[in-house]
Structure 1
Amino acid sequence: MSSKAGARYAKSLLDLSKEQNAVEDVKNDMVFFEQVVDDNSELEAILKNPIVPLDKKQGILQGIFGGKVHAITESFLKLVVNKGRSAILFDTAKQFVQQYNAIKGIVTAEVTSASALTEANRTEVVNLVKKELGASEVVVIEKVDPALIGGFILKVGDRQFDASIASGLNKLKKEFAH
């Protein structure tokens, strides 16, 4: 449920920031907000806790973000907290960034490989994803998992391409088991 509400709030914030020509600023603020909440689980707990008074939540957010974010973002944070919806702020920030990326044609590709990618591998992944999905920009998130033995697993959105040696060996095991 909070995901739908977060998406609606994010869309409203995106529309408002477009009207005010502040999309980039607000997007940067949402990324900043996400990072701060990710780094401070206590902050997320406070925002989600219905027992913490609204003015306390307001004061905490003002102390952290006051003067460091665009006026639209500051007003938005106040409004959402005053409406008693602070629990969805983190989800709203994530949804905002996703909607921004969709509009700009930015795709996130998560690559898990047995060893770190070389610059040539990274470029190849970016070019492949751009070609297949028509993306204007590709953000590559790299993870290393030695258990893959070799090859890689590429995830883009809800799609996954598994070209790892470990996966191939598991398929062979299943075929010989029957």
Structure 2
Amino acid sequence: MTQTADRYGKVLYDLRVPAEDVEQMKAALCAAPQLVKILNDPTLTKEVKHEIIETIFPKSLHNFLKTVSDRRRCDQIDDMLESYRACVRKEKGIVAATLYCVHEPDENQKAQMEQFVRRTYGVNGVEMTVEQQPDLIGGFVLRVGDREFDWSLRGRVRQLQQRLIRR
């Protein structure tokens, strides 16, 4: 993520735009990915782009999106939204975590992971994403921010190899 996208995401958060409006914007962009190209198109006038924005998006986002479009930064909207979500999570005391595993964990295992993250980071909640990675062989890898907890068989084998090489 660029610093510019991060700043725009923080501005979007600071504007206190209703979360429903942000989700509606995201849904519109997902439903019509060509919108980003249109809003970034240098051959279209600002007026045309502004009219498109006013027609499609919630009023609370008009000025923000017009600025983003005028500065041709629409291709960074996904990163802006990620920065916005990070601000919302921080305000609520929630941390994002990704669990990589061979098989989908059951509810009890997910709850234990979330409890571990809450205790370790002192947060109120965890927004956990689960991604299956068969190449882990077994176990799991838990990534929270820039920190990684590797309890996978692949990771253990790698650690063992490094120890043997050092000897």
**Matches of residues 8-157 of structure 1 in structure 2 within 5 Å?**
8-17=7-16, 25=18, 27-38=19-30, 40-65=32-57, 69=58, 71-81=59-69, 83-87=70-74, 88-157=76-145
The answer to whether the 8 A contact 2:21-2:60 is kept is no
SS in 1 for 2:108: helix
The answer to whether the 8 A contact 1:111-1:154 is kept is yes
Q: Partners in 1 of 2:79 and 2:27 — Cα distance?
A: 12
Q: Partners in 2 of 1:157 and 1:39 — Cα distance?
A: 29
Q: Partners in 2 of 1:99 and 1:168 — Cα distance?
A: 35
Report the TM-score, using the length of structure 2 for normalisation: 0.80
SS in 2 for 1:116: coil
Instruction: Count residues in correspondence.
Output: 165
SS in 2 for 1:147: helix
Q: Give the CA deviation at 1:39.
A: 5.5
The answer to whether the 8 A contact 2:94-2:124 is kept is yes
Q: Give the CA deviation at 1:169.
A: 1.6
SS in 1 for 2:127: strand
User: What is the CA RMSD across the aligned residues, in angstroms?
Assistant: 2.6
Report the TM-score, using the length of structure 1 for normalisation: 0.76
Q: Partners in 1 of 2:32 and 2:161 — Cα distance?
A: 44
Q: Could you list the runs of 5+ residues in structure 1 that have no partner in the other structure?
A: 18-22
SS in 1 for 2:15: helix
Q: Partners in 2 of 1:79 and 1:96 — Cα distance?
A: 16
Cα displacement string for residues 109-136 of structure 1 (whole angstroms, at most 9, x for unaligned residues): 1001010010011101111111111111
Q: Give the CA deviation at 1:149.
A: 1.3
Q: Give the CA deviation at 1:138.
A: 0.7
Q: Give the CA deviation at 1:40.
A: 4.4
Between the aligned residues of both structures, percent identity stands at: 28
Could you say if the C-alpha distance between residues 135 and 74 of structure 1 is closer, same or farther in structure 2, counting changes exceeding 3 Å?
same
Point out 4+ residue stretches in structure 1 off by more than 6 angstroms.
Answer: none
Q: Partners in 2 of 1:36 and 1:159 — Cα distance?
A: 33
Could you say if the C-alpha distance between residues 154 and 31 of structure 1 is closer, same or farther in structure 2, counting changes exceeding 3 Å?
farther
SS in 2 for 1:139: strand
The answer to whether the 8 A contact 1:152-1:164 is kept is yes
Could you say if the C-alpha distance between residues 51 and 28 of structure 1 is closer, same or farther in structure 2, counting changes exceeding 3 Å?
same
Which letter maps to 1:116?
Answer: E
Alignment pair present for 1:6 and 2:2: no
SS in 2 for 1:171: helix
Q: Give the CA deviation at 1:175.
A: 3.7
SS in 1 for 2:126: strand
